[in-house]
Structure 1
Amino acid sequence: MRTAAPGSRPPVLLGRRGERELLEGLIENVRGGQSAVLVIRGEAGTGKTALLDHCARQATGFRVAAICGVEAEMELPFAAVHQLCTPMLGRLDLLPEPQQTALRVALGLSPGEVPSRFLVALAVLSLLSAVAEERPLLCLVDDAHWLDNASGQALGFAARRLLAESVALVFTAREPVTRWLEGLPELPLGGLEDQDARALLAWAVPGRLDERIRDRIIVETGGNPLALLELPRGMSAAELAGGFDLPGAGGLSEQMENHYLRRISTLPEATQRLLLLAAAESAGDAALVWGAAQQAGIGFRALAPAVDARLATQTGQQIRFHHPLVRSAVYRAAAPSARQAAHQALAEVTDPHRDPDRRAWHRALAASSPDEEVAAELEHSAGRALTLGGLAAAAAFLERAAELTPDAARRAGRALRAAEAKHFSGDAEAALRLLAQAEAGRLNEREQARAHLLRGRTAFGSSRALDGPPLLLTAARELAPLDPLTSRDTYLSALFTAIIVGRLAGEVDLVGVARAARAAPTSATAARPQDLLLDGLALVITEGHAAGAPLLKDAVRAFRTTDITITQAMGWLWPAAHAAFDLWDDESWEELSARHTRLAREVGGLYMLPLALDTQIRFELFAGRLTSAASLVEQVAAVTDVTVAGTAPYGVLGLPHYSALALAAFQGREATAAPLIHAVSAQLMRRGEGMGLTMVEHAKAVLYNGLGRYPQACEAARSGAGQTSELALSNWSLPELVEAAVRTDQHALAEDARARLEQTTTPSATDWALGIQDRCNALVTGAEAHYRDAIDHLGRTRMRTEHARAHLLFGEWLRRERRRVEAGEHLRTAHSMFVEMGMEAFAERARRERRANGETIHKRRAGTHDELTPQEAQIAQLARTGLTNPEIGSQLFLSPRTVEWHLKKIFAKLAISSRRELLSALPERARSDTRPSAGPAAHA
């Protein structure tokens, strides 16, 4: 600790020894080639910025990039990314082309379609890594709680993906931390310790300070450094000597703001007006502020009193406030008319050609009554914002445009557009508020239909899933005479929404939606793949699989063979994949889910990517590629780092803990699965998503059948299989129910489940369907031929977990028939397959059967490839196919440097020295384990 004599120069950083040592160690680790991330959190004035300055002083030899969140720029997309990355654009050409393009468009450097926030976040990560190749990089982000949402998500994503780069990211934020910083390493910052607080207060108050008053100041400020420095300013000597009293109401920020207001009120009137102009100009552009000041008759000397009072200063081309609370105090304290006048002055000096959007925003805030000219200008700004991926900015422009629109019908239409922009930017609450405003106005028929469609879409983002089917059904009916094709698409959305609501449906259930879809008028042009899908699903739901399976097969085939647009692909590949596994068509399921994931990555479909990954994860689990599934679960978590919670297109489906539950069940890890079962089930009940509950029941049934706890497996499978309206997800539980019911001597229950299963497997007639059917027939009848047919059919599929389980069941049956030699063959096959796949519970079940069969089982010695983590195994497999480090990084959301770091560890574990040796060091895997089948090209 450094002390300071009263009245001497203020200490650079008083106390904070532990915090300084932590930051110094962080810098040294980065200097040594490791990444580091830290969030310094605390209330205003605790010295967070001082610690950032200390960190920068320690970073000799580093490149230091420092930015600061600005409250007024929170609606401007990628404003903070622009601050951080613009000086680094000399390394932009090192990034993969899609990332370069996304970042250029986001920063306004080139025109283009709305860039995916995910691609921009990946580009930021890659750019930081590329810059750090030259020398270590320190990024300091002050006031992160005021970052715009798009930048916050991008930087939070980068922070979670950094590993082996010489990059440090240090944030400061107030309590509580914002969502995109949650889970990152934190340094909570409170007040100074008593001795340091006394020393700082002694410097701040050079005159006499009563000991009781001193103690009270320290207690009431909590040792907050800024409060200790600022609150005594302007107080009389008499007050400090014994009569000083702190405000008793409000938090510290409120106290500080009130304190600044008192100081501002003593300044000359011209200075106060100048500060208001600076507060209203969010970018702090000195040229604009002085231009507006000149028009208002304010001279350059007006700034001097604010500088002398340590409230504001001019640095280069910016006017900066001493503390963000000064800006907020100035702006909030001004009368509405004064704020409007300030914005009007700024609008008049803002170039309409160079910065039309900022001019429009100032004009909007200057308006005191409806003004169609300003509203139209804001609408144009919204269109420009969308070209930069600025959904939040577009929504802000449109919302203000609606407020300023005189005509009621036009006002309602603009509010509806604002609501749609808010929805797709992830702000469901604001979307619903604006939607209510739109519906209270005069919407035309098409707009009313769009409003119902939006309400249906937002149902899953606002914990009101039950509202989705009736709202979408209403929208579909309203759109029928206006836009028949959009109407049919909306019927299909309503159908899948009803499947997701499932058992929890209200008056409008799946059968009701399917009947409405079948009764709706068709169009001569309705021959698209999604039209076949709609008709096939509606027929299956209302008439059964025997009637609807042929048409549903045509729909799946159309999605595999027809050239479709990217919009069609992104909208309907997930339902098509769902139809494929409803038909027990493992080949189509693999192709469509992999294609969906690939396209979502390529076009930056962040909204749909978690769902696409979730579908592929479930295929990987059935295919026995649990290592690949684990890597995909990590990727789902990476994607959701740059999304807003609760905005997945189908509720919690596709969120990381959801996929993690399925993975834990197949692995047989009850300790991991149990808390996930509880958490996911509670969330699904709150949201009203019955299909998810059926998926949870299936996961529980797999888990408990693997563990040999058949009563629990039977209970879970019986619940899951009882939801016939949820199609394939309910069907998956039927084989689990047959097995568990047979093992618990509930033969009537097993026979009923087997008969229900045949209603879907017989019309499908795939090897997967027939293999599962034979396996269940074998369990119920005990016929050896069924066991052998099951193994034969399933051996021709991609479903290795099902194949291994057929061997296990046959081996168990043979052992009970005392045919030990044959039993041993099948049990050893099953055991080996389960161990290799990572299905620990089933492997243990097979091991126990082998021991009961009289075998002496030696502990399996793991090969070196088994020591790889899921992510390492995935990287090794991708490198094995010839992908470069940047290509691997793009797939797994890592920087090329981190991929290289992982490969070094992989080489060491496998005792090899080059990528070529991966061919022999790793077991052969199916092509889809690493590079998914592309399928037919999708055209924009």
Structure 2
Amino acid sequence: MRGRNAERERIERLLAEARQGTSGVLLVHGEAGIGKTALLDHAATRADGGRVLRVEGIESEMELAFGGLHQLFLPVLHLVDTLPPPQAEAMRAVFGLSGDGVRDRFTVGLAVLTLLSEAAADGPLLCLVDDAQWLDQPSVDMLTFAARRLRAEGVVMLFAVRDGAPGAAVKGLPRLLVEGLDRAAATALVPDLPPYVADQVIEEARGNPLALIELSAALTPAQRAGQLGPSALPDAAAALPSRIQDGFQEQIRRLPAAAQVVLLVAAADDTGNLTTVLRAAAPLGAAVEDLEPSERAGFLLLSGAVVRFRHPLVRYAAYQGAPLAGRIAAHRALAEALGAAGQAHRRAWHLAAASTGPDEQVAEELERVAEWAGSRQGMASASAAYERAAGLTPDPLLRARRLVLAAQRAADAGQDERCGALADQVPLPLADPGVAASFARARAVVELGYRRPDTAARILLDSAEADGADRPDLMASLLTDAVHAAWSAGNAALIREIAAHAPDLPVLAVPARLFAGDLPGALDLPGARDALAALVVGARDTGAGVMDRLMTGIHCQLAGDHRAAREAAAGAVAHCREQGISGWLPTTLHLLARTELALGHLDEASAQAAEGLRLAEYYDLDHRAAHLRATLAMLAALRGEEAQGHALAGDALAYTRPRGVGRGTADALWALGLLELGLGRAEAALEHLESARAEGDHPLLALPLLADLVEAAGRAGRPERAAEPARLLREWAAALGQPALSASARRCQALTGSDDAAEEHFTAALALHEGGSDYERARTALLYGEWLRRLRRRLDAREQLRGALESFDRLGARPWAVRARAELAAAGGETGLTAREDGPISLLSPQEREVVRLAASGASNREIAAQLFLSPRTVGHHLYRAFPKLGVSSRTELATLLAS
């Protein structure tokens, strides 16, 4: 460990904190051979009696879903029985201990988190994940999912990743770059070489410890004695891993032939099982005694029934240095050995590796592997299996189908670039309408998720037109998906065009009628209401799919029926959780957050949107993350969190504007306008709100923000810019007949009409608010109170302003509370602070507040952990910190405190 003082200190600090109960995570990265594995080994020696779990990624095992997870947890597999039943069932499924499929990857992630916590119950736990770039992606996903949620379990997780290597992606963790050694440390690694030779080796190695050791080991006796010419070492322009590989291969070529054979079989193997290696090596003329030369040379480490390579580059050199015929023979022998052991999925991959041309039999076996991986939510592994199967498929039509399936699974795994690359390989045109429709969906997923939603809608619409005649059963789903994409674009004309293809289909009947014209009088509103009612009933059916539920919620929200929208959104979220449809969960959580926000449930909206954003970021769903950031910006605006609001809205706009994501752009601009309005900057608010309104090409799309626009125009002294929005809101509210919209319309009439009629409108608005959003009611009461105070009706004004202040304080809407307090003071009222503003709850961190809120509702630590994606131990840690701050000692007292 020469020259690694800073790296060692950082790792040892994490281990020391773990002994005090604090968890820590670090991603150690650098070029091949730089010393990452040595740092992990150092950490293992400093574990001081704590439990150590270790997994090493193997390139040939990358496509075996959850193989790395199984290897890591094998020593503590008995702890699976201590997990909550859903988590235990999920872990048994991914480990192949049950015949069940994996329906919900989030449950698997929670199970990993809980299992780590249980493994650390008796002392600190060190988890070492070496060569994570060669680990299967599902294992990496679950381990990083858990790593990002570790808090107070006493767990240290160290990941080592080789820079620049293709393979599994490890994201979102604190990083430690391991760089080359300085000259003094490098010289100390080659002490027996003459200065001239050492200088040459150090120059070639460029500070890489493995290169220093291996290049010096590869020198002949004459070279070590100083007879080193300019061409004795590899070309300096070669890539470093190639030079290291050359050094290894030179040493491997010195081994006896049988030893090279068994080393090749071990390199091609993906189990690390000594019995498997020897069984496969036997027909190739090698036996157990032929391991000895490799063991003496330090290439292999043998422990019981496990065979390990000292360094992954040794494995790579042993495999790549062998002739093609030898590699094929090794894979065939391993396939035979694994088939006898009943490991069909590994057998299929080895047969594929041994194939030199099309082979339908092997392709069929790989397709079964893909189906197996897909049933366990190993979508990246399933995609890889389908792709390899396609490469072995001689029939062009069957190859196209498998490529489309590979693209779909890549999209499910969040691998958008790979999905697009696979789609580009599909030979066109596609004769099978079903395959063509699946192909359109794969292309649309990429467009909607990362590019332009209107293009996604066009792709789906074109597919419906082209393939719907032959496959009418596909028409409904294609058009529904297309409407959803067009909705994201904020393109009412496109929505209208899509819906016109099947205006009697329940999920399309609502937009077909609501977007048929720009004026309420031109629409079939009774027909739209009937269609919406039928849609709501259909969404309650247990057989309803996620898209039907999602679009029902969107249509209800569009029509101003927020309670029905919330019901549909909650049903969509529950459906995604129950069925393991993880890719759609952030989308449904976004809708649920928007409905909670419309109902004035700000804390609930924050929780749903924050969870959705965590998941969207986790799966790299940039499009959905932008929508969720816009919603969180709205919540930040309501609470007066100026920096946070601008940051969230800015990030959202940076994504949505160049891609034509009209709804996301409108929401982010609305959030900025609301922030400025709350902070008293009416002119700036008006500019943002008018820009948000302009993002939609139909009045319905702007209805929710018109009340804010009218208020901003009035406060900015621009009544002429309030007149038309107030009129539109009044007309559409009357047509749609929803109390919330009608209340907003009457409030705007009070602001824009004569003083003679203002009080009638204000009181009507307050009546319509009953049973609706407390926030919107408080906004109306504030404006009413301000109007009363201007008329010097101070007693009446105090009543309205006091009610508004209490609601704003309770909701945490600080800028509005400040305004209400100032007005109340001007009216001569009492303006004492409330518990929400300076009470003990304000001492808690946002995560502590969420934990406390759920604990007060009666949820157990395990239930809270499952909902917030934390470990039960971290939940207990948050409660331990929160109780003294709140001055309570029990959960019962929590419930009383929050209810007061």
| TM-score, normalising length: structure 2 | 0.92
Match 1:843 to one of 817, 825, 834: 817
Pairing of 1:887-902 with structure 2 (within 5 A):
887-902=863-878
Bigger mean CA offset, 491-500 vs 418-427: 418-427
Match 2:412 to one of 416, 424, 439: 424
Shift of 1:234: 2.1
- CA distance in 2 between partners of 1:223 and 1:108 (Å): 44
Tell me: CA distance 1:549–1:29, structure 2 relative to 1, closer, same or farther (3 Å). farther
Q: Deviations over 1:288-324 (max 9, x none)?
A: 3323322122344443433343333443334332211
Tell me: CA distance 1:641–1:88, structure 2 relative to 1, closer, same or farther (3 Å). farther
1:784 alignment counterpart: 759
Pairing of 1:354-433 with structure 2 (within 5 A):
354-433=342-421
Q: Deviations over 1:857-894 (max 9, x none)?
A: 55656222232333222222222222211111111111
- CA distance in 1 between partners of 2:530 and 2:120 (Å): 52
Shift of 1:74: 1.6
Indicate whether 1:21 and 2:13 are aligned.
Answer: no
Indicate whether 1:542 and 2:526 are aligned.
Answer: no
2:127 counterpart SS class: strand
Q: What residue ranges of structure 1 are gaps of 5+ in the alignment?
A: 1-12, 523-530, 925-940
- CA distance in 2 between partners of 1:514 and 1:599 (Å): 25
- Conservation of the 8 A alpha-carbon contact between 2:566 and 2:592: yes
Amino acid at match of 1:820: R
1:907 alignment counterpart: 883
Match 2:178 to one of 177, 189, 194: 189
Q: Percent identity?
A: 36
1:437 alignment counterpart: 425
- Conservation of the 8 A alpha-carbon contact between 1:207 and 1:237: no
Indicate whether 1:309 and 2:294 are aligned.
Answer: no
Bigger mean CA offset, 853-862 vs 690-699: 853-862
Match 1:664 to one of 623, 636, 641: 636
Indicate whether 1:674 and 2:659 are aligned.
Answer: no
Pairing of 1:610-621 with structure 2 (within 5 A):
610-621=586-597
Match 1:201 to one of 187, 190, 193: 190
Amino acid at match of 1:474: D
- CA distance in 1 between partners of 2:880 and 2:479 (Å): 52
Match 2:789 to one of 801, 806, 815: 815
Indicate whether 1:751 and 2:723 are aligned.
Answer: yes
- CA distance in 1 between partners of 2:74 and 2:193 (Å): 48
- Conservation of the 8 A alpha-carbon contact between 1:570 and 1:596: yes
Pairing of 1:575-586 with structure 2 (within 5 A):
575-586=551-562
1:775 alignment counterpart: 747
- Conservation of the 8 A alpha-carbon contact between 2:437 and 2:474: no
Tell me: CA distance 1:187–1:401, structure 2 relative to 1, closer, same or farther (3 Å). closer
1:310 counterpart SS class: coil
- CA distance in 2 between partners of 1:550 and 1:165 (Å): 58
- CA distance in 1 between partners of 2:204 and 2:34 (Å): 14
- CA distance in 1 between partners of 2:260 and 2:440 (Å): 49
Amino acid at match of 1:510: I
Match 2:655 to one of 683, 694, 705: 683
- CA distance in 2 between partners of 1:19 and 1:724 (Å): 53
1:459 alignment counterpart: 447
2:583 counterpart SS class: coil
Match 2:576 to one of 600, 605, 619: 600
- CA distance in 1 between partners of 2:161 and 2:361 (Å): 39
Amino acid at match of 1:702: L
- CA distance in 1 between partners of 2:620 and 2:632 (Å): 19
- CA distance in 1 between partners of 2:257 and 2:686 (Å): 79
1:91 alignment counterpart: 79
1:731 alignment counterpart: 703
Shift of 1:480: 3.0
1:7 alignment counterpart: none
Indicate whether 1:221 and 2:205 are aligned.
Answer: yes
Bigger mean CA offset, 333-342 vs 21-30: 333-342
- Conservation of the 8 A alpha-carbon contact between 2:136 and 2:381: no
Pairing of 1:260-659 with structure 2 (within 5 A):
260-351=248-339, 354-440=342-428, 443-502=431-490, 509-518=494-503, 531-543=505-517, 547-558=523-534, 560-562=536-538, 568-640=544-616, 642-646=618-622, 651-653=624-626, 655=628, 657-659=629-631
Tell me: CA distance 1:895–1:549, structure 2 relative to 1, closer, same or farther (3 Å). farther
Bigger mean CA offset, 440-449 vs 757-766: 440-449
Match 2:694 to one of 717, 722, 740: 722
Tell me: CA distance 1:466–1:257, structure 2 relative to 1, closer, same or farther (3 Å). farther
- CA distance in 2 between partners of 1:765 and 1:17 (Å): 71
2:808 alignment counterpart: 834
- Conservation of the 8 A alpha-carbon contact between 2:627 and 2:664: no
Tell me: CA distance 1:817–1:149, structure 2 relative to 1, closer, same or farther (3 Å). same
2:243 alignment counterpart: 255
Tell me: CA distance 1:658–1:332, structure 2 relative to 1, closer, same or farther (3 Å). farther
- CA distance in 2 between partners of 1:185 and 1:365 (Å): 36
Q: Deviations over 1:329-386 (max 9, x none)?
A: 3333444444323322322333257111211211122122222222222222222222
Shift of 1:487: 1.0
- CA distance in 1 between partners of 2:195 and 2:477 (Å): 75
Pairing of 1:119-198 with structure 2 (within 5 A):
119-175=107-163, 181-198=170-187
Shift of 1:19: 3.0
Tell me: CA distance 1:513–1:342, structure 2 relative to 1, closer, same or farther (3 Å). same
Shift of 1:566: 5.7
- Conservation of the 8 A alpha-carbon contact between 1:618 and 1:662: no
Amino acid at match of 2:464: A
2:52 counterpart SS class: strand
- Conservation of the 8 A alpha-carbon contact between 2:452 and 2:661: no
| TM-score, normalising length: structure 1 | 0.89
- CA distance in 1 between partners of 2:618 and 2:110 (Å): 10
- Conservation of the 8 A alpha-carbon contact between 1:627 and 1:870: no
Amino acid at match of 2:500: R
- CA distance in 1 between partners of 2:632 and 2:792 (Å): 40
- CA distance in 1 between partners of 2:706 and 2:320 (Å): 63
Indicate whether 1:883 and 2:859 are aligned.
Answer: yes
2:665 counterpart SS class: helix
Shift of 1:822: 2.5
- Conservation of the 8 A alpha-carbon contact between 2:86 and 2:107: yes
Amino acid at match of 2:194: R
2:515 counterpart SS class: helix
- CA distance in 1 between partners of 2:39 and 2:257 (Å): 36
1:936 alignment counterpart: none
- CA distance in 2 between partners of 1:221 and 1:727 (Å): 67
Tell me: CA distance 1:462–1:56, structure 2 relative to 1, closer, same or farther (3 Å). same
Task: Give the paired residue count.
Answer: 888
2:214 alignment counterpart: 230
